[in-house]
Amino acid sequence: MQLNLQMFLAVGCGGFLGAIGRFYINTVVTKNFPYELPLATLGVNIIGSFFIGILIALFLHFTPSDTLRVFLITGFLGALTTYSTFAIESFFLLNSSFLYGILNIVLNVVGSIAAAGSGYKLLIKIL
């Protein structure tokens, strides 16, 4: 893969759209589901993991340009998912409620791995 302006712009544009998507989902979910667990972070992590599984499986059969690949995976999904947010939310939850902290960690980690594998296997079966 050649690093050039087009690649940087692809990552940046994908990141822009992923960050806007994350902001929108966070706003809507937090407003409508004001629970102790950070459901918005959990949701985007699981959704993003599902779609990375789909894209990786798809890219095994249809090789996209490097520009499209970095736009979707590094840019969009990288900005949509929220590992640093997950980390600080888990830290604060562990300090205020050990049970909610552990629940948040387990749901994010196990849910994201299960979603990535599900997306991958789903598309592999279709293709």
Q: What is the pLDDT of residues 51-79, one digit of tens each?
A: 999 999 999 999 999 999 999 999 999 99
Range of the domain at 9: 5-126
Q: Which residues contact 111 (CB under 8 A, 6 or more apart)?
A: 42, 45, 46, 49
**Structural domain tally of the chain?**
1
The pTM assigned to this predicted structure is 0.87
Q: Give the per-residue pLDDT at 50.
A: 96
Q: Which residues contact 60 (CB under 8 A, 6 or more apart)?
A: 124, 127
Q: What is the pLDDT of residues 2-24, one digit of tens each?
A: 899 999 999 999 999 999 999 99
